[in-house]
Copies of this chain bind each other. A is one copy, B any other.
């Protein structure tokens, strides 16, 4: 992923609808940065597993974390994983059932997961994660303890290979179907953030921090 023109291998090359595909950092990073939600797929005893989790990117590495006791994290460390991000932008409603589709931005990353072992590095990664979503929040929080760091497993991977797939725009119907009196178009969808809900146990007078005003991803 260092070179934006890296040639895709057999593993990541999109076989279908290659006109939708992109392999370079300039298309893949913005998709990763547009949502923290992701799915990490891994193999245990030859069988596939996939766990929804949160990712954050630092350069050409991507990270996710959880409890040190997590089976998913223990079993995927040191092994190949596939991390996918998919953002739905709309439902594409065509004149034929078969041309119904989705407008989306997705990225599929391949690499070997490794554990972040060093306590200071773990703390720095957690700060990057929290501040990446809510700038300045980390320093407002109760400092992390060494026990918490031990109980937390952070996995990372260098993005060895990646592919993105994006669809935008109106339906693509068969040319002869455009004469049919059928409503076609796109139903756009997006993530909407509602007003923050304060913890009932917040102390009186504690104000909503700036990083929660007009919050958005990326």
User: What B residues does A171 contact at CB under 8 A?
Assistant: 199
Residue of B at shortest CB range from A91? B133
B192 touches A190 (CB 8 A): yes
User: What B residues does A208 contact at CB under 8 A?
Assistant: 183
Q: How far is B83's CA from A50's CA once the two chains are assembled, in angstroms?
A: 7
Q: How far is B180's CA from A16's CA once the two chains are assembled, in angstroms?
A: 54
B187 touches A193 (CB 8 A): yes
Residues from 130 to 169 in A contacting B, C-beta threshold 8 Å:
130, 133-134, 137-138, 140-142, 144, 148, 151-152
User: What B residues does A25 contact at CB under 8 A?
Assistant: none
Interface size class of A (residues with CB under 8 A): 35 or more
User: What B residues does A203 contact at CB under 8 A?
Assistant: 179-181
Distance in Å from the Cβ of A103 to the closest Cβ of chain B? Answer: 10
A69 touches B16 (CB 8 A): yes
B196 touches A187 (CB 8 A): yes
Query: Looking at the complex, which one of B39, B141, B195, B200 makes contact with A39 (CB distance below 8 Å)?
Result: B39
Q: How many copies does the complex hold?
A: 2
A52 touches B207 (CB 8 A): no
Say if the beta carbon of A27 comes within 8 Å of chain B. no
Q: How far is B83's CA from A83's CA once the two chains are assembled, in angstroms?
A: 14
Distance in Å from the Cβ of A211 to the closest Cβ of chain B? Answer: 9
A residues bordering B, Cβ < 8 Å? Answer: 11, 15-17, 37, 39, 41-43, 46-52, 54, 66-67, 69-71, 80-84, 86, 88, 90-91, 93-98, 100, 102, 104, 106, 108, 110, 126-127, 130, 133-134, 137-138, 140-142, 144, 148, 151-152, 170-171, 177-203, 205-209, 212, 215
Beyond A184-B199, A186-B196, A189-B192, 10 additional contacts (C-beta under 8 Å) are A15-B69, A39-B50, A97-B127, A97-B138, A100-B130, A140-B182, A142-B177, A142-B182, A181-B203, A185-B202
9 interchain residue pairs of minimum CB distance: A52-B86, A192-B192, A41-B50, A41-B41, A188-B194, A41-B48, A184-B199, A185-B198, A98-B148
